[in-house]
Amino acid sequence: MFLLAVVTAAQATIDFAQTDKLSESLDALERLYEKEKWDLAIKQGRILMNEAPQGSPVRQRAYDIVVLALDKQSTGKLAQERVEFQEKQKKTSAQLTAEGNKQLADKKFDEAITSFKGAIRAFGGDSEVWYLLGYAFGEKGDKQEAASAYKACLKLNPTHPRALFHMAELTYALKNAAEAEDYTHRLIAAIDKRIEELTQAFLEQKGAKLNDKAIATARKVNALKKNLAQATYVYGLLAKAAGDYTAAKESFKRSTQLDPTNLDAFYHLGRAFLKLRTFHQSSIAFEQAVGMGESRVRDLKTQAKKFLDQNKSDEAVEAEMKAKTIQKRMVQSYYGLAICNWSHQDVSGAMESVEKALEIDPDFMEGRFARAIFLASRREFMNAVAEMREVLKKAPPNSSEAVRAIEAIKLLMGQLTAKEPAFSGLPSEEPPKIFIYQSGKQVKFLPGMGGRKTQKELEAVYPGFSEVQSLLDHRNIPEAIRRLLAMQMEHQHIAEIPSVLGWCYMELGRFEEALDSFKKARAIDPRNAECLANIAYVFSLKNKNLDQALELANQAIDLEPGRAEFHHTRGWVYFKLGEIDKATADLQEALKIQPGYILARYNLGLLSYLAMDYTKALDCFDQVLMAKPDHTKVSLFKAITLAKTNNASEAIALLDELAKKLPPTEVVAKVVKNLHDRIKAAHERHTDLPIPKIKSTVPVKEMLKKAMFFRSKGLVNHARETYLELQRLAPNEFEPWYQLGDMYARWGLSGPAMRAWDVARRINPEHYELQLNYGKMQYRLMQRKPAREAFVKAQGINPEDPNPPYYLGLMAYEDHEFESAESYALGALRSNPRHLKSWALLGMTRIRLGRYKPARDAYETLFLHAPADASIKRHAQKKLWEISRLMAPDRAPSFEHAQDVGKQIEERNSGSDQPPEPLPPPKLAKLEEYGPTMKYDEKMWVLKHLQKFPTLGRQSRYSTRTGKSPELTFEERRWVSKKLENFKSNALKYAPPEMKVTSKYQLHEPVKPSRNPDKADEFLKKGMASAEKGLLTEALAAFSKGREASPHNLEVLMNLGFLHLLAGNFKDAFEAVGQATIDFPTQPFPRLALGNLYWLGGKGKEAVEQWQLMRGPVRFDPEYVFVGRSESIWKRILDINPGDVDAHSNLCIIYLFTGKFPEAITECKNVVSLAPSRAEHQFYQAMAETVLYLKSKSQTHKKEARGLLNVLEFLAPPFPHARMLRMYLDTL
């Protein structure tokens, strides 16, 4: 550093002028220093040091300032360099973070980790970089490093939700339950707080009508709810691992409510309920998990197949692996469902569930163990042993599974060899001798069967059979089974051994083992008729494979047609199939061959009872009791049959005798005593006998479920065939007749519906829904008497429902019985004060009765409770306006007012102020000619006074007015009313003549375009007539013939398209409308319909293309197009019943297909207000808003459509196509 040279002593003397100058320079130097101008201060200080003398304080001070300035300058430069370096490092960190994000998206986890570490080294890293580093480690599989990074993130930001979430998962996976619970608790609290804040913001935005911001906030809330669902799921896992199943249940339950698509949450919820022994809720959760798993596996397998077709093998393998993971969870869910069914003692359901689990994973050891237990509970010990042997084969040596399997096999073998009580199943004959053939001889005495070798082998086996026969005679069936098993091991080629063994198993009720034995016998001898019949009989007893059982029984009868047992077996199979007539014929044939066949006689009695042939049933039961007087079941059924034929005394005596014979501890004894007491009490009170219903073997529930499935898919013909088949098999069942009539009614087929319902009413006249619907149908068909009878019957069945009295009141109103209509309306309102249609009916009847104030009260109540924008609310508003006019006589022309006007006219004619004589009552025959003829001026004067009163016909004849004018008679009032009604229509009769104009300015009415006749016109008229009656099938047939006659007729094609759409046949609707678009490319009508169909199918782009090709308004001839004519029909229905939701819905569809989109939007809102569950009308409204947006380019319509689709998108489950169409709408 430069320093001033030492000055000489001669220069030490300073004058005062130099001192002042140096002081000023020093002050300036200090000011530069204070202003942090270091460069200037250093420069000025050095100059001052040169100028100041040696030893001067000024020089020393300048020296100090220069040193300080140099230090500050160096410090500043270092700080600037440090800032520049930090900015560079920060920029480098941001660049590395962006690269790491991109590498994460490309699944390059190693490169992403390197980038994030570099970003942290460059700038220390913020919480987000640490989180991304932890996420990359987690995706790579390095859980320890991921946990360390997440902890660093949470140290910088303790409420980072994603870091908390992943830390909870990692600590749970690392078996650190305490930390996992802490992180999960913190995460749930953070998400709950954030959801609460966003919910409040959403409400404020919605209140301020900031729809776009509100929708964005709602999406954030939904995303947070999914995260919260996952967090509560993890918390539930932790609680379950800690043994707190109650807390786990609540957590899993909340998780499933927040995210109904979480399969694992439903599975663990089922496990928690199972641990808490809440079996019903557990089974529901497991079923939900299974249902979702099946759907996802199906989708993943389809996706994998598509990937394979596209040569994307890696993606296909990934999809298959995901499917296998879900299948493992499904196996566990099926196992849990089996445990629930087992706990409910539903062994069949448990067996079915565990078999489904084993079908997915045959190596599922727990399922094998469970199946063995279920088989053992059904006393199928051999099958259970076989199952345990499979477990032993697959279990590792000396493993716990192997030890359990060995212990189970020992236990089952002990049960198998133990002596068991005989099975008391259906009544049967004495155990037959071994090998009874048609000849009636034993094998020992049958010569030449299969040659000498076979004969010798059978003779060698005969001693064993004799021993078995002796055991069977003493009912020691378990020991007989042991002997037969030993004989089977020694003689494996003799079919009779497994055949007899199967019979023994059947006696013990071990039908699966019996079936296996019979199948072995059949494998040895395929033409063994005995085995074929026995297999068929076992199938019929288990109620499975009935078609195969029938085929086997037929084969047995073909081989040996003279065996009564075979005919009985086939009859029993027919009985299980519900073929009562065929079953009866086979049982009669069996009895014809063997008249003493007790079991066949007993079953014939049961069939006769089910066929309502009680005389024949009693005869069969009597013959059985003659042969076996101690037959308990036959005595019981005979008593029931006697009660059915109103022989109560005999039934009571028979039951009394039977109760004395039975031990009081048996279940049958309790049944007999209970039935005896109930029949005796009813007989003494002279009431209907409580006869138990014998359940038919026809699978009514399964077939009804099948028919409903067909109906849901629109396969009406298949459903009808199912109902008809069910009616043939079970003609006395109520549901087939009722549901068939309901299906006919929904499709507009009134006649077939009434015929089906007539039969249903004979079967069950006390069914409320049937009587109500029957009355509605008769009312629509204008059959008033049967409709009234049905409504009265329905009212008697369910007095609490307001619909029957409402319809009775409506019919009374139409018959001008207003007092009765008012009474019925009040009765309906007593049942349900919120029944809006009854309030409307009450108001209308009181108007007709002239009771305006009560009518006003009724309509005010209706207006108050009716939904907003509903047609019934508009009806109430209109009627309130009319009532207010009727109750204001000074503002409307009353009869007295008209009388005053007539008096003034007569005074003017006579010139007298005296009141005229009262008019003589007119004759009834000359009412039209009553009154003097008025001149032109008089008529104009009357019109001048009356033109301000447009509504005249509604004035009550009970209006009062003060004055001395005489009252008119009833006939005079009628005449005046009729005249007043004509005043308005004749107002311009005496008006000045019209001004003549030249043809140049003449306004011509538009000429209706003429329509050229077409070959299809005849079919069009027939189809329109059928469609108006609701006969859609006949209408479609007529339009199809019209298309054959004229393939390019626009009306035919559009009618076909619309009716196919109503029937749910979208493919045929597309085909017809598409052809119309091709044949008439310039017509907007088919373009509109095709666009609507595309929208309904979720294809927004194609729909918009068709709508944009429309040019001009939609025009058509309503005489030949059903969509136009049906509009007036539904409007008439709304005039009668403004609250009819279906009428509003149909009008909405009609307006959509006729281009009346504002009206369609109004009807959609009406439907949603009346029936909020009909979300599809929000979908229709979105379609109408979209078309209006395309026409007007108004953002209001677009926002409305987008908001509706967004609501539908987040329903549970989401509405079909809503998300796809909303995303496309955003691109417009």
What is the per-residue pLDDT across 1051-1084, written as a single tens digit (0 to 9) for each? Answer: 888 888 888 887 777 788 888 888 888 888 888 8
Note the maximum CA span of the chain: 167
pLDDT over threshold 50, residue 999: no
How far is Cα 27 from Cα 562, in angstroms, rounded to an integer?
A: 142
pLDDT-based confidence at residue 915 (cuts at 50, 70, 90): very low
Of the ranges 233-242, 427-436, 663-672, 1107-1116, which one carries the lowest mean pLDDT score?
Answer: 427-436
Domain residue limits, the chain: 9-81, 126-222, 261-361, 370-416, 630-691, 698-799, 896-909+936-953+973-985, 1018-1227
pLDDT on residue 428? 38
Any idea which residue has 């055949």 for tokens? 499
pLDDT on residue 123? 64
- The amino acid at 376: A
pLDDT on residue 905? 57
pLDDT over threshold 80, residue 979: no
pLDDT over threshold 50, residue 984: no
How far is Cα 831 from Cα 808, in angstroms, rounded to an integer?
A: 14
CA distances from 307 to 301, 327, 503, 941 (A): 10, 20, 55, 90
CA-atom Rg of the chain in angstroms: 48
Condensed to tens digits (0 to 9), the pLDDT of residues 9-33 reads 334 444 556 677 777 777 787 787 7
Return the higher-pLDDT residue of 732 and 236: 236
Tell me whether residue 901 is exposed, middle or buried, using C-beta atoms within 10 angstroms of its C-beta: 0 to 12, 13 to 18, 19 or more: middle
* Of the ranges 120-134, 922-936, 1029-1043, 1091-1105, the best mean pLDDT one: 1091-1105
Q: Where are the alpha helices (DSSP H) in 310-399?
A: 313-343, 347-360, 365-377, 381-394
CATH of 698-799, one of 3.50.50.60, 3.30.420.40, 2.160.10.10, 1.25.40.10: 1.25.40.10
Return the higher-pLDDT residue of 155 and 301: 301
pLDDT on residue 1000? 37
How far is Cα 247 from Cα 268, in angstroms, rounded to an integer?
A: 12
Distance linking the first and last C-alpha atoms of the chain: 75
pLDDT on residue 368? 81
Structure tokens given for 395: 């279990």
Phi-psi region of 931 (alpha: psi -120 to 50; beta: other; left: phi over 0): left
pLDDT on residue 145? 81
pLDDT on residue 890? 45
How far is Cα 250 from Cα 236, in angstroms, rounded to an integer?
A: 8
Same fold, 126-222 and 698-799: yes
pLDDT on residue 446? 37
pLDDT on residue 981? 54
Condensed to tens digits (0 to 9), the pLDDT of residues 502-560 reads 878 877 777 788 888 888 888 888 877 878 888 888 887 777 777 888 888 888 888 88
Cβ atoms of 198 and 220 within 8 Å: the answer is yes
Cβ atoms of 481 and 417 within 8 Å: the answer is no
pLDDT over threshold 70, residue 951: no
pLDDT on residue 196? 83
Cβ atoms of 410 and 384 within 8 Å: the answer is no
Q: Which helix (H) or strand (E) holds 822?
A: helix 818-831
- List the one residue out of 515, 580, 523 whose CA is nearest residue 545: 515
pLDDT on residue 331? 86
pLDDT on residue 694? 60
pLDDT over threshold 60, residue 847: yes
pLDDT on residue 424? 31
Mean pLDDT of 985-999: 47
Condensed to tens digits (0 to 9), the pLDDT of residues 172-225 reads 776 676 777 777 777 788 888 888 888 888 888 877 878 788 888 888 888 888
pLDDT on residue 903? 64
- Distance from CA of residue 205 to its chain's centroid? 32
pLDDT on residue 456? 53
Q: SS3 for 825-845, per residue? A: HHHHHHHCCCCHHHHHHHHHH
pLDDT on residue 410? 73
pLDDT-based confidence at residue 991 (cuts at 50, 70, 90): very low
pLDDT over threshold 70, residue 440: no
pLDDT over threshold 80, residue 717: no
pLDDT on residue 439? 35
Return the higher-pLDDT residue of 925 and 107: 107
pLDDT over threshold 80, residue 1088: yes
Phi first, then psi, for residue 178 (nearest 5°) are: -65, -50
Structure tokens given for 452: 């000498």
pLDDT on residue 910? 61
CA distances from 571 to 560, 821, 866 (A): 16, 59, 62
Structure tokens given for 189: 């609290």
Of the ranges 365-369, 695-699, 1017-1021, 1099-1103, which one carries the lowest mean pLDDT score?
Answer: 695-699
- List the one residue out of 232, 206, 230 whose CA is nearest residue 217: 206
Cβ atoms of 368 and 390 within 8 Å: the answer is yes
pLDDT over threshold 60, residue 830: yes
Cβ atoms of 906 and 942 within 8 Å: the answer is no
pLDDT-based confidence at residue 942 (cuts at 50, 70, 90): low
pLDDT-based confidence at residue 1222 (cuts at 50, 70, 90): confident
| Dihedral angle, C-alpha 660, 663, 668, 672, nearest 10 ° | 20
CATH of domain 1018-1227: 1.25.40.10
Mean pLDDT of 634-662: 80
Phi first, then psi, for residue 261 (nearest 5°) are: -100, 5
Structure tokens given for 27: 């002050």
pLDDT over threshold 60, residue 350: yes
CB environment 226-263: b (16+ within 10 A), e (fewer): ebbbbbbbbbbbbbbeeeebebbbbbbbbbbebbeebb
How far is Cα 750 from Cα 94, in angstroms, rounded to an integer?
A: 75
Of the ranges 345-349, 563-567, 1006-1010, 1126-1130, which one carries the lowest mean pLDDT score?
Answer: 1006-1010
Domain 126-222 in CATH: superfamily?
Answer: Tetratricopeptide repeat domain (1.25.40.10)
pLDDT on residue 907? 62
How far is Cα 391 from Cα 399, in angstroms, rounded to an integer?
A: 11
How far is Cα 1003 from Cα 669, in angstroms, rounded to an integer?
A: 98
pLDDT-based confidence at residue 944 (cuts at 50, 70, 90): low
Return the higher-pLDDT residue of 956 and 858: 858
Percent of the chain with pLDDT strictly greater than 70: 81
3-state secondary structure at position 715:
coil
pLDDT over threshold 80, residue 265: yes
pLDDT on residue 63? 80
- How crowded is residue 576: how many other Cβ atoms within 10 Å of its Cβ? 21
Residues contacting residue 506 through CB under 8 Å, at least 6 positions apart: 423, 514, 534, 538
pLDDT on residue 392? 77
pLDDT on residue 990? 47
pLDDT-based confidence at residue 897 (cuts at 50, 70, 90): low
Q: Which long-range contacts (CB under 8 A, 24 or more apart) does 937-942 make?
A: 938/905, 938/908, 939/990, 940/990, 941/905, 942/901, 942/905, 942/983
Looking at every residue in the chain, the average pLDDT score rounds to 75
Condensed to tens digits (0 to 9), the pLDDT of residues 583-599 reads 888 888 888 888 888 88
Cβ atoms of 519 and 382 within 8 Å: the answer is no
Condensed to tens digits (0 to 9), the pLDDT of residues 106-118 reads 777 788 888 877 7
How far is Cα 378 from Cα 928, in angstroms, rounded to an integer?
A: 94
pLDDT on residue 721? 77
Cβ atoms of 1144 and 1167 within 8 Å: the answer is yes
3-state secondary structure at position 279:
helix
Of the ranges 104-108, 300-304, 498-502, which one carries the lowest mean pLDDT score?
Answer: 104-108
pLDDT over threshold 50, residue 954: no
- How crowded is residue 488: how many other Cβ atoms within 10 Å of its Cβ? 16
- Distance from CA of residue 1010 to its chain's centroid? 49
Mean pLDDT of 872-877: 83
pLDDT on residue 1079? 85
Mean pLDDT of 750-775: 83
CA distances from 847 to 615, 818, 1098 (A): 62, 9, 50
